[in-house]
Amino acid sequence: MNRIVFLILLGLCLSYFFQPLSYLQVVEVSTGQALLLVPLEPGQEFTLIYTHSVHKSPVVEIFTIQPPEGLLLKKIGFKDYGVGMPYSTPHKFILGVDGFFWIEAIDDPLGSFTLRVQEIPQHRLVLSGREINLLGLTQAGSLVRIEAVLGSRFRLWVKERVRWQRE
């Protein structure tokens, strides 16, 4: 009887630790250190918000994790036209009730992307209603990579532990 209970518990633990999961990861490029690791279901949206450096208005980019492509850009919203803002696009372009110009149905696979964290754009991630200021994770001027990571809980735990041991 004890052996059956033990085997059932062992099977449950193994299925928990080896269950395939997807995560959004923010990595500091210079050190390879994971600054943020958040579980996200494939297809679940997250948002990057920042202030445009020229016209000082908000820009919103909405992404999903889409295995095996990695990150997929879904749509972009902005308040003002200006330097660096698209003026022509083959994608659906609308003026939203929120006052933003929206480019929708982009569905562009990016894999991952890098950005330099600075005080002026104040890059923020919004995940499941929680806003995370990237400047709170690293120093101004740092280059970070935002990427999708696929793997089991065990693999991600070992990967982070190995990274921690090398420091």
CB neighbourhood size of 78 (10 A): 20
Q: Tell me the CA end-to-end span of the chain in Å, nearest whole number.
A: 46
Instruction: Determine the Cα–Cα distance for residues 158 and 60; give it in Å rounded to an integer.
Output: 34
CA dihedral in degrees (50, 51, 53, 54; nearest 10)?
Answer: 140
Render each residue's pLDDT in the chain as its tens digit; 167 residues: 688 888 888 888 888 888 888 889 999 999 988 888 888 888 899 999 998 877 778 899 999 998 878 999 999 988 876 665 666 677 777 777 788 888 888 888 999 999 999 988 899 999 888 899 999 999 999 999 999 988 777 776 666 554 443 33
Residue 12 amino acid letter = L
pTM: predicted TM-score of the whole model, two decimal places: 0.80
CA distances from 31 to 24, 64, 93, 142, 143 (A): 18, 26, 39, 10, 10
